[in-house]
């Protein structure tokens, strides 16, 4: 059996882009077994269910999850995020949230003078700790005396494994550089743990160049000099923000792929475009499926098919390079082109 993939197409454009990703996947991985799971805003609105335990158990039996996008303005904030996306990241110990950003030939950066090929970075974002754990509460809610807390929890275990992953990835890249981003001058407790752990792991990788930056400085440099980054490792919340800036300077979330990865493969990893369900353009066949297809390349790489992954990534790059302003192909047509290109 080649691979068992759980498919969560989700809401809005999620279903449209996942259909294209699957077209491509079936070409490069013939015999791949896929099972569809109906999860997201539509199911929640229909049944009140977010992620039943029985479904979680079934997902566990797969090699990976391919997710389109979930969400709709009709669902209160947090319900699907906490109940579905973060639940999967945490329950399946997907501690490496991998987000590559490249400025592809054919795309235009909003940054003046930055040329395709110049930006090629990957953010290794921690996925199972920090402020995302959901610890906190509200005292005297709704009164003038209300206090709300959020607690960031960080362990040596959690920090060390993701930093080690970042170094291992950097070792395989030509520039071999890792930037740690945190806010050690203010978040001294968590920052101290991150900085000490970074220094310990760094000693094991003497061939890798390293640097440290505060998150505010990194946010600025991602705009003024994104070329300087190779691998960036950071915590869950900082990674959320920095990867959106990285997506913005490489032309937007239309091409931003991500993987929520358990490197040991003890649990299924999850691959999804960074963009959301985009209800405003859903159903029109105009969504760009490239980010979903690039996420499928990350899936292939994770499952031990690096050549297939490279083929898919190159196909997307080549397709994007043929684009001319004002003549956008449909979602389906792009999928067809990519499927043909990888054949």
Ligand X SMILES: CC(C)[C@H](C(=O)O)[C@@H](O)C(=O)O
Binding residues for a second copy, rule: CB under 8 A, are: 77-78, 81-82, 86, 108-113, 131-132, 134, 136-138, 141-157, 183-193, 195-196, 215-217, 219-221, 223-224, 237, 240-245, 247-249, 252-253
Closest approach of ligand X to the CB of residue 81, in Å: 4
**Which residues have a Cβ under 8 Å from the Cβ of 89 and sit 6 or more positions away?**
97, 127, 128, 132, 260, 270
186 near ligand X, rule: CB under 6 A:
yes
Question: Binders of ligand X among 253-292, rule CB under 6 A?
Answer: 274
Task: Let me know if 63 is a catalytic residue.
Answer: no
Task: Let me know if 132 is a catalytic residue.
Answer: yes
Closest approach of a second copy to the CB of residue 338, in Å: 25
- Of 33, 209, 216, 307, the one binding ligand X (CB under 6 A) is 216
81 near ligand X, rule: CB under 6 A:
yes
| Nearest of 183, 304, 157 to residue 239 by alpha carbon | 183
Contact call for residues 69 and 276 (beta carbons, < 8 A): yes
Which entry of 37, 44, 95, 132 is annotated as an active-site residue? 132
Which entry of 63, 183, 229, 235 is annotated as an active-site residue? 183
275 to 17, 83, 222, 283, 340: CA distances (angstroms) = 11, 18, 19, 16, 25
CA atoms of 291 and 297, how far apart (whole Å): 10
Which entry of 72, 235, 240, 301 is annotated as an active-site residue? 240
Question: Binders of ligand X among 232-251, rule CB under 6 A?
Answer: 240
Report the partner that residue 176 touches, choosing among ligand X, a second copy, none (CB closer than 5 to 8 A by kind): none
Of residues 48 and 113, the one with the C-beta less far from a second copy: 113
Of residues 241 and 329, the one with the C-beta less far from ligand X: 241
SS3 78: coil
Which entry of 91, 177, 212, 244 is annotated as an active-site residue? 244
- For ligand X (CB under 6 A), the number of binding residues is 8
Report the partner that residue 285 touches, choosing among a second copy, ligand X, none (CB closer than 5 to 8 A by kind): none
Closest approach of ligand X to the CB of residue 258, in Å: 6
Task: Let me know if 57 is a catalytic residue.
Answer: no
SS3 175: coil
Other Cβ atoms less than 10 A from the Cβ of 236: the count is 23
185 near ligand X, rule: CB under 6 A:
yes
SS3 121: strand
Contact call for residues 292 and 21 (beta carbons, < 8 A): yes
Structure tokens at 233: 């490792």
Report the partner that residue 336 touches, choosing among a second copy, ligand X, none (CB closer than 5 to 8 A by kind): none
Q: What is the DSSP string of 231-254?
A: EEEE-HHHHHHHHHHHHHHTT-GG
Structure tokens at 167: 């170094």
85 near ligand X, rule: CB under 6 A:
yes
Contact call for residues 99 and 306 (beta carbons, < 8 A): no
- Which of the ranges 16-24, 78-86, 286-294, 314-322 carries the binding residues for ligand X, by CB under 6 A? 78-86
Of residues 27 and 295, the one with the C-beta less far from ligand X: 295
Of residues 132 and 267, the one with the C-beta less far from a second copy: 132
Closest approach of ligand X to the CB of residue 194, in Å: 16
Ramachandran region, residue 117 (left: φ > 0; alpha: ψ -120 to 50; beta: rest): left
CA atoms of 343 and 340, how far apart (whole Å): 5
Task: Let me know if 38 is a catalytic residue.
Answer: no
Of residues 220 and 310, the one with the C-beta less far from a second copy: 220
Q: If 0-12 CB within 10 Å is exposed, 13-18 middle and 19+ buried, where does residue 327 land? A: exposed
Task: Let me know if 216 is a catalytic residue.
Answer: yes
Residues annotated as catalytic (active site), given as ranges: 132, 183, 216, 240, 244
Residues in touch with ligand X (CB under 6 A): 81, 85-86, 185-186, 216, 240, 274
């Amino acid at each position: 059996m080649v691979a068992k993939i759980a498919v969560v197409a989700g809401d809005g454009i999620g279903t449209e882009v996942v259909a294209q990703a699957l077209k491509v996947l079936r070409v490069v991985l013939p015999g791949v077994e896929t099972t569809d799971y109906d999860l997201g805003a539509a199911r929640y609105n229909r049944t009140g269910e977010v992620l039943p335990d029985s479904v979680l158990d079934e997902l566990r039996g797969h090699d990976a999850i391919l997710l389109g996008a979930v969400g709709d303005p009709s669902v209160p904030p947090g319900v699907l995020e906490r109940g579905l996306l973060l639940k999967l990241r945490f329950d399946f110990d997907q501690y490496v949230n991998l987000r590559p950003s490249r400025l592809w030939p054919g795309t235009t950066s909003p940054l003046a003078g930055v040329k395709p090929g110049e930006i090629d970075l990957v953010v290794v974002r921690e996925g199972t700790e920090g402020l995302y754990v959901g610890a906190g509460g509200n005292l005297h809610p709704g009164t003038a005396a209300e206090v709300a807390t959020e607690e960031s929890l960080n362990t040596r275990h959690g920090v060390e494994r993701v930093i080690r992953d970042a170094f291992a990835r950097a070792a395989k890249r030509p520039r071999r550089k890792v930037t740690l981003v945190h806010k050690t001058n203010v978040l001294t407790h968590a920052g101290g743990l991150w900085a000490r752990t970074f220094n310990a792991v760094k000693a094991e990788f003497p061939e890798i160049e390293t640097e440290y930056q505060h998150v505010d400085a990194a946010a600025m440099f991602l705009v003024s000099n994104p070329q300087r980054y190779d691998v960036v490792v950071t915590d869950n919340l900082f990674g959320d923000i920095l990867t959106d800036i990285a997506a913005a300077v490489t032309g937007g979330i239309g091409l931003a792929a991500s993987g929520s990865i358990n490197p040991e493969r003890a649990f299924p990893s999850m691959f999804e475009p960074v963009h959301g369900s985009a209800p405003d353009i859903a159903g029109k066949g105009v969504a760009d499926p490239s980010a979903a297809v690039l996420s499928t390349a990350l899936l292939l790489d994770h499952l031990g098919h690096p050549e297939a992954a490279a083929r898919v990534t190159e196909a997307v790059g080549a397709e994007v390079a043929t684009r001319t302003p004002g003549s956008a192909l449909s979602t389906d047509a792009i999928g067809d082109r990519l499927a043909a290109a990888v054949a």
